[in-house]
Chains A and B, each alone.
Chain A
């Protein structure tokens, strides 16, 4: 099974700043990597799929990059509504696997 490792565990940033989140796969997942945002009490929300494609309705300040084993989610200018937990997920190999999450906090 593929293990997904996210870093950092917690990221402290100010509104308007840039946030960079990392996700590493234990073996290559090509570009089959998704990112989700989760706020307290809510289900995860798909942000990015295929490493860099924004899901429907996702603002352009969210961008994804990477392939193989190293991936990055960048939030170019943090808005108040972006403070949340972010998960990566590989969908290249069975079973689908999630990272443990990065909490973006003020």
Chain B
């Protein structure tokens, strides 16, 4: 079954770090750009970051630029999000998401989502 499975969430203090992972299965992971999208408790969806299939291009929302780093290991079919200098406003469920077609990185919609992993930033 084509799926995405996030892990790595948890409770972290303000200023701390966390690395999220997203394991992909049953599709050619390296051919797809991938994104992270987050959702604060009871709030809407916010696109966070995207990376091209070859890792040549990365993009970030202004709210996380300079603090978060997206990366991938195509040999392990895994997407990562390294989150540093975490703030209370980073508290959210983090989803990895895949666009419909393998293509160069671009603004896309997302037919495939993981189940999400909860990050809580609190002292």
Contacts and interface: CB of A to CB of B under 8 A. Distances in A.
A31 B45 CA distance: 20
Contact of A92 (B44, B45, B107, B113): B107
Contacts of A95: 47, 59, 61, 107
B109 A91 contact: yes
Contact of A55 (B111, B113, B116): B111
Contacts of B100: 49
A97 B27 CA distance: 26
Interface in B24-45: 35, 43-45
Contact of A89 (B106, B109, B114): B109
A43 B45 contact: no
Contacts of A34: 109-110
Nearest to B96: A43
Nearest to B108: A91
Contacts, number: 57
Interface in B84-123: 95, 100, 106-111, 113-116
A99 interface: yes
Contacts of A87: 44-45
Contacts of B59: 94-95
**On chain A, which size bracket covers the interface?**
20 to 34
A42 B44 CA distance: 13
A96 B114 contact: no
Given A99-B44, A101-B44, A43 B109 contact: no
Contacts of B45: 36, 44, 87, 89, 98, 101
25 contacts: A34-B109, A43-B95, A43-B114, A44-B95, A46-B109, A46-B111, A49-B100, A49-B109, A87-B45, A91-B109, A93-B107, A95-B47, A95-B61, A95-B107, A96-B47, A96-B107, A96-B108, A97-B47, A98-B44, A98-B46, A98-B47, A99-B44, A100-B43, A100-B44, A101-B45
Interface of A: 32, 34, 36, 42-46, 49, 55-56, 87, 89-101
